[in-house]
Amino acid sequence: MTGLSSAEVTDGSDVVKLMWSDGFTARFHAVWLRDNALDPATRSASNAQRLITLSDIPAGTKIVDASIADGALTVGFAPEDKQVEFPSDWLRANAYDVQADRAPGWISPGLETWDSEFDVARVTGAHAEVFEADAALRDWLSAVRCHGVAKLTGGPAESGALLDVAALFGYVRETNYGRWFEVRTEVNPANLAYTGLGLQAHTDNPYRDPVPTLQILYCLENSAAGGDSQVVDGFAAAHRLRDEDPHGFDLLARHCARFEYRGTGDVHLVSRKPMIELSPDGELTALRFNNRSTAAITDVPFDDMADYYAAYRRLGEIIDDPGMAVSFKLEPGECFIVDNTRVLHGRTGYGDSGGSRWLQGCYADRDGLLSTLSVLENNAVANVA
Ligand code: OGA
Ligand code: ZN
């Protein structure tokens, strides 16, 4: 990265305008810089947490001087009479004076969407390597972050082995289905997943708020005919809908659907959330799609309901389009993990002509996975440096 070349205090000392030697410019507000000061009186030297509140910073904070030396900016703040140094790279990485021309449904540039052409080998790790080598684990977790799915081969076909996969990066999310659940044909199934029926590609548990953000499905037996797994990139599906029918996309994003699960016994879960979730600035943050647990939708205005249903139907058609799905049949000892806010999973029906199929599933959350990945990445950089 290039260094800072000039600093100019402007706007009545409320702003500093910085220029880098490659011509990049960015303005920063006095209060923003003061709040983000990196000195040990503002941030703890041991854990980097902020020691002050905004009320500790005078409301009329100004920049009285700004100078560049040794690749860093030094700013003097009044009325506190405080000098703070900001590294050039830190300022560049945190510049906010940039034109963000983002269409609704934009996704982070670090994500890659995919369709049926996607080679699942790109996100497949070998159990022995991912469990033994940091670099292999890093690659495997980064596939989940980037593509929303990863597969693991060559693991033990042992009950409970999926918990060791979750422990690679984080923590199991225990639910009414238990710490993990058995996915095999049951006589009085608590969920249609525990039958031989085919399942349309779906996200799990949209009736839960918050939804589990990760799901692991681990195969112990799969000799039955059928029972192939499918995964579909929900972000790619949402983008297709947006491109074909922006109004339909907008309806699914702007109005809440309702989801419900009434289990046997004492479980009753309900949620009121959109099928396509956008952040306030339009980032596509989650998809909820599950025919089994969509409840009566009552939050769409009467005049929009027909178009809403047309968009819901079209989204389902896109998800069912063979051009979107990647299919594979899990072998015993294999598993896959999906980002349950993005990638839908389904299966073909099985069990009509003998054989057995037994999967175990569990939920976990993305915070732990992203944290582990970030630490592995930082360690890798530190080892190179
Ligand atoms: C599930 C599910 C798919 C399968 O248990 O959530 O979708 O392959 N199972 O059995
Ligand atoms: Zn499922």
Q: Is 220 in the pocket of ligand 1 (CB under 6 A)?
A: no
Tell whether 160 and 219 lie within a shared domain. Answer: yes
Q: Whose CA is nearest to atom 9 of ligand 1?
A: 193
Alpha-carbon distance 18 to 7, whole Å? 5
Q: Is 151 in the pocket of ligand 1 (CB under 6 A)?
A: no
Alpha-carbon distance 74 to 171, whole Å? 43
Domain annotation covers residue 381:
no
Tell whether 87 and 125 lie within a shared domain. Answer: no
For the chain, what percentages of helix, strand and coil (3-state, to nearest 5) are there?
Answer: 30, 30, 40
Tell whether 75 and 132 lie within a shared domain. Answer: no
Domain annotation covers residue 108:
no
pLDDT at 99: 78
Tell whether 67 and 139 lie within a shared domain. Answer: no
Q: What is the CATH number of the domain that holds 152?
A: 3.60.130.10
* DSSP notation for 174-242: -BTTBSSEEES--SS-SSGGGSS--EEEE-S-TTSSSPPSEEEEEEEEE-SSB--EEEEEHHHHHHHHH
Q: Is 193 in the pocket of ligand 1 (CB under 6 A)?
A: yes
pLDDT at 219: 98
Tell whether 127 and 31 lie within a shared domain. Answer: no
Q: Is 359 in the pocket of ligand 1 (CB under 6 A)?
A: yes
Domain annotation covers residue 102:
no
Ligand 1 centre distance from Cα of residue 193 (Å): 5
pLDDT at 186: 86
Tell whether 270 and 146 lie within a shared domain. Answer: yes
Domain annotation covers residue 112:
no
Q: Whose CA is nearest to atom 5 of ligand 1?
A: 193
Q: Nearest CA to 204 among 345, 364, 358, 348?
A: 345
Kindly state the tokens that stand for 134.
């940091």
- Residue 167 has phi, psi (to 5 degrees) of -70, -15
Tell whether 48 and 177 lie within a shared domain. Answer: no
Please compute Rg for the chain using Cα positions: 25
Tell whether 217 and 364 lie within a shared domain. Answer: yes
Domain annotation covers residue 106:
no
Ligand 1 centre distance from Cα of residue 39 (Å): 51
Q: Is 347 in the pocket of ligand 1 (CB under 6 A)?
A: yes
H-state helical runs in 52-205: 88-93, 127-132, 134-147, 161-167
The domain in which residue 178 lies consists of: 120-376
Kindly state the tokens that stand for 107.
């996704």
Tell whether 184 and 328 lie within a shared domain. Answer: yes
Which residue among 231, 344, 359 has the greatest number of ligand 1 atoms within 8 angstroms of its CB, and so is best to mutate?
359
Q: Is 199 in the pocket of ligand 1 (CB under 6 A)?
A: yes
Ligand 1 centre distance from Cα of residue 27 (Å): 51
The count of domains in the chain is 2
CA atoms lying within 13 Å on the CB side of residue 35:
10
Scanning the structure block, which residue is given the tokens 């309806």? 251
Q: Is 214 in the pocket of ligand 1 (CB under 6 A)?
A: no
Q: Is 173 in the pocket of ligand 1 (CB under 6 A)?
A: no
Tell whether 176 and 316 lie within a shared domain. Answer: yes
Ligand 2 centre distance from Cα of residue 203 (Å): 6
Per-residue pLDDT of the chain (385 residues), as tens digits, is 589 999 999 999 999 999 999 999 999 999 999 999 999 999 999 999 999 999 999 999 999 999 999 989 999 999 999 999 999 999 999 999 997 778 999 999 999 999 999 999 999 999 999 999 999 999 999 999 999 999 999 999 999 999 999 999 999 999 999 999 999 988 888 899 999 999 999 999 999 999 999 999 999 999 999 999 999 999 999 999 999 999 999 999 999 999 999 987 899 999 999 999 999 999 999 999 999 999 999 999 999 999 999 999 999 999 999 999 999 999 999 999 999 999 999 999 998 788 899 999 999 999 999 999 999 999 999 888 7
Neighbours of ion ligand 2 (CB under 5 A): 204
Tell whether 54 and 197 lie within a shared domain. Answer: no
pLDDT at 365: 98
Ligand 1 centre distance from Cα of residue 360 (Å): 9
Tell whether 79 and 211 lie within a shared domain. Answer: no
pLDDT at 321: 98
pLDDT at 244: 98
Q: Nearest CA to 43 among 90, 98, 97?
A: 90
pLDDT at 353: 81
